[in-house]
Structure 1
Amino acid sequence: MRPRAPFAALPVRQAAPLAVIGGVLFALSFPAPGWWFLAYPAVACLLLSAMGQGWRRAAWLGYLGGVAFWVPAISWAGRYLGPVPWLALALFEAALFALGSVAVALAYRWVGRVVTTTAGRVWGLPAVIAALWTGREWFSGSWPYGGFAWGRVALSQSESPFAHLAAWVGVLGVSFVVVYCVAVVVSLGLVGGLQLRVRVALAGVLVAAVLAVPAWPTAVRGSIRIEAVQGNGPAGYFDRAAPGEVLQSQVAATDVDAKGVDLVVWPEASAEFDPRVQPVIAGALDSVVRSVDAPIVAGAITQTSTGVLHNTSFVWTADGWQSSYDKKRPVPFGEYVPDRWFFSKLAPSLIGLLQRDYTPGTKPNVLSVAGIKAGIAICFDIVDDGLTQDMARGGAQVILAQTNNADFSGTDENLQQLEIARMRAIETGRSLVNISTVGASQVIDPTGRTIDRVPEYTATSMVTDVPLGTSTTPATVASGLVTLVLSLGGLLVLLACAPWGRRRRTGKRL
């Protein structure tokens, strides 16, 4: 007689509250308050709510948990445009969350039916669960319109003991490790035939083994003195600033008396417009370069001869414009409207507010400046896994993350983005200068430690000796392959364990 599966579905009266509790706890693990340790019970609650459920019930339970997470987690999305875009994004992401919940539920049913040994259910099944979770995070970070890579388990762990693993397996790999550990603990609590002390000991051994993995030995060679300037100007879309106001705020906040500066860095769109066609802007940049005796990396909105708009980061020296990078990940419904003809019919007043459509760039995101190679990430670029790898593979010795968070003043958006940047520093083994128009602006070393910062919503600058990274982390080389193997492997195991023959014989819905 086959042993009874230990992963039976909970009644709705228990599963539904667990889904909501899991979603809320998960939201609390992100800034603010950023209680990263709550991600573990959050994942456990979400797994328990989906466990053993039929696909329809798993879908709406996952959607319930997704709503409980996404609505508070990205409340900043409604800061200026109101509840419609905020709730639209939250509810859509909750639907993708529900898709992952269905996969988890089916894995507990199908794989749990095939794998009957205690060892397989404790150690093997959780690997499938974690792989499917990771695959869902990858999918939602890639689709549609380039995806929305916020809300990954790993991104709540930038200050946790798991953070250093990003250098080994990448951000999505950290999500896999965390979910796997939680899923193993859940299995240990459910499978039979083990004494309590054995369950506790096995859980402890697993966590200890994971945490015993040493930090990647990041290598640095020399440093560069960077003055990063937070102008705190009226840089928001609805600030209605007069032309030149943001530029002047940056000029005023730049410490031109700072000694030994090798490079000045300004935030996204801080020079406002193309200095090649705006002599006043060129003059302001020339003044800063002469006074500090160092080149500057700044941002501006540029336009090609054919009228194509780009969000651009550029290098300006005493000889003027040297090189540039155009943002490759403009924000959908923020910097451009995909399928404008369609969405204009759904929400004409909202879509009408976005009059300009920025085009994704094609240039490499590594620029030579001040004798080094700097990786450039303009705002939303920092969430893109591929662009992060491109910077490291392109020889970047430091990452300059230029951003404009003025449209989300007073919210947690800038803090959440900062933690994404922190994980990218660890993942690549590179120091990262996160410079915002309004904050949070910090300099982060290759281990994820903050080595300099300035107060938010303050016009000021920080002059920092920033270590230059030289090592290549395993994540830089193989994190994309790790994600592919995990995601595809989890899906293939799930399909291989599906009861296709049983379904044909019984004709029953599984």
Structure 2
Amino acid sequence: MTVTATSVDESDRLRPQTAPAPWRAKLVRLVPAIAAILSGVLLYVSFPPRTLWWLALPAFAVLGRVLRGRGWKAALGLGYLFGLGFLLPLLVWTGVEVGSGPWLALVAVEAVFVALVGAGIAAVSRLPAWPLWAAAVWIAGEAVRARVPFRGFPWGKIAFGQADGVFLPLAAVGGTSVLGFGVVLCGFGLCEVVRLAGEGRRTGAVRRPAAAAALLSVAVPVAGAVAARPLVSDAAEDGTATVAVVQGNVPRSGLEFNAQRRAVLDYHARETLRLAQRVKAGKVPRPDVVLWPENSSDIDPFANADARMVIEEAAKAVGVPVSVGSVVERDGRLLNEQILWDPAKGPVQTYDKRQVQPFGEYLPLRSLLGAVNKDWTSMVRQDFSRGTEPGVFTVGGAKIGLATCYEAAFDWAVRDTVTHGAQMISVPSNNATFDRSEMTYQQLAMSRIRAVEHSRTVTVPVTSGVSAIIMPDGRITQRTGMYVADSLVQKVPLRSSETPATRLGILPEIALVLVAAGGLGWAIGAGARGRRAGDA
């Protein structure tokens, strides 16, 4: 029997067709969402305390692949999932002592900014050289997030995950915005290189302009970082200063340590007395200044004679000025204050923290929160007031700029100490509230970025660790453990030259925001013209 083509066709037509399994179709639709979440987690893993900075590149490559060509609604959702994957683990420390509510609320709000950025990236992904526009959109999102709400929350800037990376010298070129832009551009460029390579294998043709733009997106940030390497130096331009960083430790971790304010003060005084004994024995050189952390004396020494006596005894024993972190009340205002305490003259200079932490040092919308739940207002019983002037202490021939704890995350708060003459920077902090979480290491990485950004030595005295001394090239030369009493003494370079980042200030960030706005305008205009043409 001969089987004709017609009979085969008829048998195929009559045979029941197998429809795709419903669960497979659903799984395929979930792939972009799963990829968005996992790429966010990958970005988190690139941050300290790990030194896997390079994982930021595949994280953005996957994000670019997920968002490219999407509609704005889908991109919003995928961007939000990416934000959750990144920020949920990154900011888990915010709920260490107060529970998961504030942590989840903070992440839910901050992820909205990432969602909007995702929609913007999807819009510009249809443009030529889209990695350039997309990277600028990301930095524009960071710029907004660093300013609103409640004066912003810059935690999680891409730059802060690059303290160990090859892109670090870009911080000296244009600060955190240029460093972050370089990393994101390289990641999106990697995405485009892979996409065009796959397209070339399928079609046998390569679109040379697009390929050139993609390769440049990868190569230019790396080449820029290499070219910027001469800007990174730890040479002493104005001599040296010998600094001592004291970590007194706390009786126990958590919020309750604030109820033991006298014990914390005594611990820091005791460690300073030990330091004085080591100096006297010739084990360490005599420092020019001793730096205590934020909250090392939560008892106001101007109002409490006992606290004043303890500080004076420590300063006289070591024989040099001591910078004390205190909480003081002046003219009805509560201030987070650094006090330079001279062993002979007593308090001679002060600096009041300017960027106070919402929900930690002051309570936004206090009346509204109290109306909803009176217990919520107990989180911060009295609001701290903001200082108004940059902090620069003069000790002998050295000028020390001050950025207290949370301020290290804000570009302006560190930069203006340098523009006001600081030859080195100190970031006194109190991380005891956050126990042994990653917060300490994330903040330490910020200080390393600031060291390179402004080419200054940065000291980080912390109540319970990790305290450190950081060279102007970002290297940590000494550090303490966590929850130990210790002191670090080192001769450090003093520098007065300004990096391009210091001189330019906010201008690189403004330029990148304008690039983002231009790309979004182009994309929106092109989309509108396409819709009009379709209607016609």
TM-score by length of 1: 0.90
1:311 is the counterpart of 2:323: no
Which structure 2 residues correspond to residues 343-492 of structure 1 after superposition, within 5 A? 343-492=369-518
Task: Give the letter for the 1:210 counterpart.
Answer: G
In 1: Cα distance, 2:192 partner to 2:361 partner: 45
After the TM superposition, which of the residue ranges 387-396 and 198-207 deviates more from structure 2? 198-207
Task: Give the letter for the 1:232 counterpart.
Answer: N
Which structure 2 residues correspond to residues 158-197 of structure 1 after superposition, within 5 A? 158-191=163-196, 193-194=205-206
After the TM superposition, which of the residue ranges 272-281 and 472-481 deviates more from structure 2? 272-281
Identity %: 33
1:329 is the counterpart of 2:366: no
In 2: Cα distance, 1:139 partner to 1:11 partner: 34
Equivalent in the alignment of 1:4: none
In 2: Cα distance, 1:314 partner to 1:490 partner: 43
Task: Give the letter for the 1:316 counterpart.
Answer: W
Partner SS for 1:188: helix
The 8 Å contact of residues 187 and 218 in structure 2, kept in 1 or not, is answered as: no
Equivalent in the alignment of 2:269: 251
CA drift at 1:477: 1.0
Deviations 1:53-81 (A, max 9, x none): 11111111111111111111111111000
The 8 Å contact of residues 220 and 470 in structure 1, kept in 2 or not, is answered as: no
Going from structure 1 to structure 2, the CA distance change for 1:416 and 1:321 (only over 3 Å counts) comes to same
Bigger CA radius of gyration:
2
Equivalent in the alignment of 2:236: 220
Task: Give the letter for the 1:89 counterpart.
Answer: L
The 8 Å contact of residues 173 and 479 in structure 1, kept in 2 or not, is answered as: no
The 8 Å contact of residues 226 and 464 in structure 1, kept in 2 or not, is answered as: yes
Equivalent in the alignment of 1:69: 86
CA drift at 1:238: 2.2
Equivalent in the alignment of 2:324: 298
In 1: Cα distance, 2:326 partner to 2:388 partner: 16
Residues matched between the structures, number: 485
Going from structure 1 to structure 2, the CA distance change for 1:155 and 1:282 (only over 3 Å counts) comes to same
CA drift at 1:493: 2.7
Task: Give the letter for the 2:30 counterpart.
Answer: R
Going from structure 1 to structure 2, the CA distance change for 1:488 and 1:269 (only over 3 Å counts) comes to same
CA drift at 1:274: 2.6
Going from structure 1 to structure 2, the CA distance change for 1:217 and 1:73 (only over 3 Å counts) comes to closer
Partner SS for 2:227: coil
For residue 210 of structure 1, the aligned residue among 224, 231, 238 is: 224
For residue 35 of structure 1, the aligned residue among 30, 52, 58 is: 52
CA drift at 1:271: 1.8
The 8 Å contact of residues 232 and 452 in structure 2, kept in 1 or not, is answered as: no
1:19 is the counterpart of 2:28: no
In 1: Cα distance, 2:303 partner to 2:439 partner: 33
Partner SS for 1:462: strand
CA drift at 1:461: 0.7
The 8 Å contact of residues 232 and 473 in structure 2, kept in 1 or not, is answered as: no
CA drift at 1:285: 1.7
Equivalent in the alignment of 1:285: 311
Deviations 1:392-446 (A, max 9, x none): 1011011010000000011110010000111011101000001100011110000
After the TM superposition, which of the residue ranges 389-398 and 279-288 deviates more from structure 2? 279-288
In 2: Cα distance, 1:242 partner to 1:203 partner: 54
Equivalent in the alignment of 1:3: none
Partner SS for 1:256: helix
The 8 Å contact of residues 276 and 318 in structure 2, kept in 1 or not, is answered as: yes
Equivalent in the alignment of 1:103: 120
How large is the RMSD of aligned CA atoms in angstroms?
Answer: 2.2
Task: Give the letter for the 2:73 counterpart.
Answer: R
Structure 2, unaligned stretches of length 5 or more? 1-26, 200-204, 280-284
Deviations 1:119-159 (A, max 9, x none): xx3xx322111111101011111111111111111111111
1:242 is the counterpart of 2:268: no
CA drift at 1:284: 1.5
For residue 133 of structure 1, the aligned residue among 126, 135, 138 is: 138
CA drift at 1:489: 2.0
Going from structure 1 to structure 2, the CA distance change for 1:494 and 1:367 (only over 3 Å counts) comes to same
Equivalent in the alignment of 1:500: 528
TM-score by length of 2: 0.86
Task: Give the letter for the 1:308 counterpart.
Answer: R
Partner SS for 2:402: strand
Task: Give the letter for the 2:389 counterpart.
Answer: K
In 2: Cα distance, 1:129 partner to 1:451 partner: 37
In 1: Cα distance, 2:58 partner to 2:29 partner: 19
In 1: Cα distance, 2:535 partner to 2:387 partner: 52
Structure with greater helix share of residues: 2
Task: Give the letter for the 2:289 counterpart.
Answer: L
Equivalent in the alignment of 2:153: 148
After the TM superposition, which of the residue ranges 423-432 and 364-373 deviates more from structure 2? 364-373
CA drift at 1:245: 1.0
